[in-house]
Amino acid sequence: MNKYSICFSTTPAITLVLFLVLMPVFPAGAAEALLVYAGAASKPPTEEAVKLYEQKTGTKVDLVFGGSGYVLSQMKLARQGDIYFPGSSDYMEKAKRDGHVFPGTEKVIVYLVSAINVQKGNPHNIRTLSDLTRPGIKVAIANPEGVCVGAYAVEIIEKAFTPAEKSVFRKNLVNYTESCEKTATAISLKTVDAVIGWSVFQHWDPARIETIPLKKSEISRIGYIPVAISSFSNNKVRARQFIDFLLSEEGKAIYGKYHYFMSPEEASAWIGATKPVGGEYVLPADWRPK
């Protein structure tokens, strides 16, 4: 028995043992699982909701998190998935346009309001939008081309500033973050002094982020987080059930816990004026470099 024959005879034995040990890792009934593409902006509540759903119904739910546009690309190219749950409305519009979701199945889960976010304690004493044009202030917004909260920020800037103020503001604009969460962490990590993000950012990291509300005239629209059934789904009934769960009292309670606005009225009340929900905003040419 030379060393090679020992090798060959023990390898199958080891493989068998490994297989038996690892087998529980591979879930049974994988065909039944739902595949959900979700924007990372709502990760904490969504993960909790999924856990509760799995407990209640025994249906496994696989979550793919990432930037809303990024996971849309993945869903497009993978040609499979049951639910698309982006962090904001503009990507849902794109998905609907490209036929990757059933438009009729779209529902709104929670509502979002733009606000200024600063470091906890507001060390630079930023109270208004014009404070962002002060010299030396470092500001960031999400990449308006890709991320909804960034596009909303641009709309706010375009509306509120004169061209002169706008150019000063843009000098202070040091970065486009590539996703919703990165916009929030830009404050957490103190890489900038302020961002124009969602009011709910404060609740994502209460120890480090503080929300400064905008004036009601500065806000043009209320954002929302939509969900819809993917056109690639083979499991439409179960997908529908999951969405219904999110909209149920139990589901809503989870999101409410994380301080999202549960209805347009709630959002409007916080702003101090009634505002339209969603819609599309076209970026002006000087904001989309070519």
Residues binding another protein (CB under 8 A):
67, 69-70, 72-73, 76-77, 91, 94, 98, 140, 143, 145-146, 174-179, 189-192, 289-290
Residue placing its CB nearer to another protein in the complex, 182 or 221 = 182
Least CB distance from residue 35 to another protein, whole Å?
17
Report the nearest approach of another protein to the CB of residue 256 (Å): 29
Nearest distance, CB of residue 126 and another protein, angstroms: 18
Q: How far apart are CA 255 and CA 238, in angstroms?
A: 21
Euclidean distance between the first and the last CA atom of the chain, given in angstroms as a whole number: 70
Minimum distance of another protein from residue 144's CB (angstroms): 10
CB of 237 to another protein, least distance (A): 27
The closest of 277, 270, 285 to 88, measured between CA atoms, is 277
Q: Which residue, 143 or 233, has its beta carbon nearer to another protein?
A: 143
Name the residue nearer to another protein (CB basis): 189 or 253: 189
In sequence order, the β-bridge partners of residue 235 are: none
Integer angstrom CA distances of residue 180 from 23, 140, 280: 37, 12, 18
Task: Tokens 């641009």: give the residue.
Answer: 154
- 191 versus 220: smaller Cβ distance to another protein: 191
DSSP element (H, E) containing 243: helix 236-247
Cβ nearer to another protein, comparing 91 with 255: 91
Q: Alpha-carbon distance 118 to 196, whole Å?
A: 9
Using CA atoms, how far apart are residues 222 and 220, in angstroms rounded to an integer? 7
